Structure formats: C-alpha cells, structure tokens
Amino acid sequence: MCGISGIYQLDGAKVEAATLEKFNNSMTHRGPDDYGIELLDKETLGLAQRRLSILDLSPLGRQPMSFDQGRFVITYNGEIFNFPEIKETLISKGHSFKSESDTEVILAAYMEWGPLCLKKFNGMWAFAIWDNLNKELFLARDRFGIKPLYYLYEEDKRFVFASETRAFKFLNNFNREVDEIKLHHNMIDPYALEGLGHTIFKQIYQLLPGHYLIVKRQEKISQKRWWSIEDCHPEIPKSFNEQCEKFYEIFRDACRIRLVSDVPIATALSGGLDSTAVYSTVYDIIQKESLGRVNEDAQRAFTATFKGLPNDEREYAQIAANYTGGPITFLETNDVDLAARIERDTELCDFINISPISSIASVYEGMRKNGVVVSLDGHGVDEMLYGYRDMIYGLYNDALWYGKSSQALDYRDILSDMYHPDNRGHFISKSNKNLEEKKLRESGLKYKLKKLVGTQSPNLEYLPLKLPELSDKTYDFSKKPVRERMVYFEFFQHTLPALLRNFDRAGMMNSIEIRMPFMDWRLVSYVFSLPIESKVGSGFTKRILRESMKGKMDESLRNRAFKVGIGSPVEYWLNDKLKNWALDMTSDKELKSKMESALNSNGKMENALIREVWQNINYNLIK
C-alpha cells in the first residue's frame, strides 16, 4: 500500500528528477518506509512511489519495479489478495520470480495476459505499467475504486498521475484551480462527484473504478471499462438457508485471504454488526485454521470512544471483544488542539466532506502508535444491503405509492428500530399520519386515474448529476425499479465511492492500509444477484449477513438495528471546543464571499447559515 505518481511528457521534453521527487514526496505519509523514482524512455517519463511495506519487506519489493529484462516497469498501490494462486499458474507457464511480493506477480500477469489480467485479480489496486517495447503507459484501477488514482491530461503536452489530488499542489508548471461548477455540485451534495470520476479541481480527474487507460504519444486518451456489475450473474441457491451458507463461505474466505501480511494486523471495531462480523470471523479463522503467511498478532481490536457523547460505542465494542476473548484497545478522542487537528486533516484530505474525518483518522493514528500497519474493516455492507435509514424510507415510500400498505408497514417497523429508542415514538406517529393521508388520497378520482395510466413513482433522488461522461460505458441504473436502483446508485455512484475516498485518506495519512472483506468482488457480485427479500426482511436490514452470522458473534450485536458508527461529533464540538474557532471562521470576509459564490446565493448569507455549513467547506485550506 503506497503513494504512486508519474509524469509523462508527451511533447518529448525531459522529466527532471527533482520535479518528480518533489511531486512524489508530497505523499510521504502514504509510504514512510521507502521511496523510489525512475526515469524512462529517454527521460520523458518518470515513475515514482512512496512505499508502505506490507509484503516482502526487503529491498526486493522496492518500486518502481521492472520485469522481463526491463521491458515492463510498474508503480503500484494496493494488494492482490489471491496473488499466491496466480503466481503458481504463472510459474507453470514458465515465469520466474525474485521477490515474495504481489507486485512482481502483477508484472508477470500483464506480460502473460495483457489487460485481461485484471479479471484474474482479487484485491484493491491502482497501478501504472510502462511497456518499453510498445511505448505505452497502462493505468488500471480495481473494480470498486478502493484505491485512488487521479490524473491531469494536457493533450500533446503531458500526462500526470498521483494517488491524491493534493500532490498536484506540488507539481511544477501547474496552477491548481477550483472548478466553480463542480464545487457548486459538491456543495449541494458532498457525495456527488467521487463516483463519476470528477474532482472539485479544473483538469484533475479520476480513473474510474473498473476502468483502465492507455497513454501513448499522438493518441487521445479514453477510459475503458474492463469490469461491470451488470455482467456478473453468479449462481444463487434457491432456499434462503442455502443462500446464507454460500454468503458466509465467500465472506469467510474474503477475510482469510486478507490476513496475508508480513506486518501486524488489527480490526477497527465500532461495535456495530458489520465490523463485529469481520472481527469475529477473523478471530475464529486464526483460532481454528492453519494459516501460512499471516502475522500472529492479528487478533487485536481498536475502538474510538467519545466519553459522555451519544456516538460513544465503547459498550458495544466491549461486548464484541468479550465474545471472542480477544484484546481491545480504546482510543479516547484528544480534545487538545482539536481545531488545529481538523485543519491539518482537511488539508491532507484535500476534498469537501459533510464533516471532518478527524474521528475516523484518530482510530488509525492510534493503531499506528500501537505498531499496527494493516486494519480489517467492515465497509460496503450498508450500501448493498439497505443499511441506511434513507434507503428504507425509499422502500417505504415506494410501497406506499404502489398501494402495498402491508409491505409499507413492514418497512416502517424496520425503520422504527433503526432510530434511537427516544425517537421511535415520534417516527411511528408520523408514519401513521402518512398512512391515513394516503388512504384519503387513494379514494379520490385523480389518484385512480393516475393508476389507470400507469404513472411512475416520482423517485428521482437516485439519479446522478449530469456532468461530462468519462467512461466509454457509463453505468445507467435509471431504468431499474426504485428499490434496486437505490442500492446500485449508493454503491457504485454516490455514497460508497466518497466513503472509500474518506477511509483511504484517514488510513493513509497515518500510514495504515485498510482491507475490506465485504468489498471482495465475489461477495459483491453474489449480493447484487440476490432477491431483495434476502437483503431486507424479518424485521431487519442486512438480513443475509445477520442470518449467516448466527452463532458466530454476540446475539445482541447481531440483532442490533440502531447504530451510530464512527463519526465526528460535530454538533457537540461546535457548541463546545470549536465554538470560538467556528465563529472566527465564519467572520472571515473572503471565506464568506467564497461560500456565497459556491452556493450561488442571491443576496447576503446569514451568519447562522454559514455556521451550519462551515464544516463542509474549509475552502481556505483547499486552494
């Protein structure tokens, strides 16, 4: 897991080593263990890497790495978890290896199969391979975009890429500017850009998940999709019990292959269903199975705590640890210099988010201080198994629209349990009122005419914003029913892409690699092929996960519907530790002017409104 970068002068000019080194070293936090740069093709191409050593800690794992007598050279960020099996296949085909790294396996696989090698990989990656024979640069990203890759394309002049947009602040002969139109989109919806491959900066784009790009002189670049969820149709057992057995089989193997490491591993544990499922399964694997290249110290859990605040999940995390008997470390949030920490984290993140990621980052900071380098986390479940309240609201409203009152009541009950106990009564009263109003509407002539002509449910919230397409085969989920569209949209285009970005930065700013068993492509393909009844039902979201974990984790956590998750307690900070800082920020005339412009405000913006959105912007840090 690393920070990678490269500069390719398409105009034939030479890349200066000092320029590349400055660009690359802006990401030292992503790879504090080693670094390397290499100038190729008569010094018109420079590849570089900051190394976070995970597999093969020796110099043999150093990058950029070459293969086949220097024909292929790679700079790579990520992990290929099934590389041992691929390596065996390649050895049988006559390839030989010098290192114990997965990097060399990628090079041999590309030499053997070309771009088709991507479909053989199970993991997370962003890499660039130079082919010195064909004089082309091949860049690729994993199926879901777990690992980032940003690029700048100045046609006929140069192509530049890096693991973070922040690196482009340190690129010579480039004035990084905010794109006001994209900023406007991002201010309306903080999740709007990431899944579409755009950033808030002019000329800086992302290589989309499941895509590759070939850069060659005198040829225009074009992103090509190499993987699509629409092409995945795994066999699904008929009975729900059999579906659960298959789900757990894939999930357990996804956890198992993510334990391969030459450095210490732990789990970021929130006490919710998802992270507890990962933690409990990993612990069980280590206790019961004979494993090879696995660090023995892989059974620890780390939990962020917020003493006295509603989002403190210490109690639940302790229950999870008690079930396994494994060690757990609680990381109390340090309020000292909180404002300075948020400013630092925001500057390193270099994006606009709904709230600071400092609480998330503090977990990985605590891990690193305790000698951990790899974290196994539970991300990806909510988006594909209806884990968010808004998604169940969508199902509830959709059922109401089509007159499925009984189904609507089932969704209402699920929604009720997702609220804090103190708020459930209010929600049920409100939903009962909605049901009564609907009955009155349904008795009217206008409603009956609408049903007769087949008017569609007006659920447009799951359609993405229209920005220039970057893919040759853009995902279009608009024709799917609302109940399906929402999970496809949240997973592939909206919430999850932004969350993956957030966790990448939170982990890597503290030199921690995050692995995500639920993001195993086999499991994702399987879940998206399941009927909705296997995902939501029997009073719960994430139904198949809950059932598959029966007898494998604490029952109270397995059936826990309400959770907070890891997040910054912004509203409490703003009324306490950060109050004066926030007021100072909102009194800044330049910042206020930029806020008004970003929100396209007609007239003056009230200070109260500025205070409400200040944490989304930190505009003065992103320039």
The string of pLDDT tens digits covering residues 444-460 is 544 444 444 444 444 44
- What is the average pLDDT score of the chain? 87
Domain ranges of the chain: 2-227, 234-381+502-530, 578-621
Query: What pLDDT is stored for residue 15 in this prediction?
Result: 97
**For 396-409, what is each residue's pLDDT tens digit?**
888 888 888 888 88
Which range in 174-188, 520-534, 586-600 is most confidently predicted, on average pLDDT?
520-534
The residue among 299 and 541 whose pLDDT is bigger is 541
How far lies 376's CA from each of 104, 166, 337, 518, in Å? 24, 26, 29, 10
Tell me: the pLDDT tens digits for 336-390?
688 888 888 989 999 988 888 888 899 999 999 999 999 999 999 999 999 999 9
Give the homologous superfamily in CATH for domain 234-381+502-530. Answer: HUPs (3.40.50.620)
pTM over 0.85: yes
Q: Which of 12-16, 430-434, 446-450, 542-546 has the lowest mean pLDDT?
A: 446-450
More confident residue, 167 or 1: 167
Q: How confident is the model at residue 593 (pLDDT cuts 50, 70, 90)?
A: low
pLDDT at residue 387, as a whole number: 94
Q: Is 518 in contact with 376 (CB distance < 8 Å)?
A: no
Residue carrying structure tokens 């009984």: 406
pLDDT tens-digit map of 48-79: 999 999 998 999 999 999 999 999 999 999 99
Pick the CATH number of 2-227 from 3.20.20.70, 3.60.20.10, 3.30.470.10, 3.30.1370.60: 3.60.20.10
Question: Across residues 543-570, what is the average pLDDT?
Answer: 87
Please state, in angstroms and rounded to a whole number, the distance separating the CA atoms of residues 393 and 389.
6
Percent of the chain with pLDDT over 70: 85
Return the minimum-mean-pLDDT range out of 334-348, 412-426, 440-454, 537-551.
Answer: 440-454
Look at strands 45-51 and 65-67 and give their pairing.
unpaired
Task: Give me the pLDDT at residue 432, please.
Answer: 65
Where is pLDDT greater, at 562 or 589?
562
Q: What is the DSSP string of 286-315?
A: HHHS--SSB-S---EEEEEE-TTSTT--HH
Q: Which range (6-15, 177-186, 612-621) has the least confidence?
A: 612-621
Q: Quick check: 204 and 499 in contact, CB under 8 A?
A: no
User: What is the rounded distance in angstroms from the CA atom of residue 298 to the CA atom of residue 295?
Assistant: 6
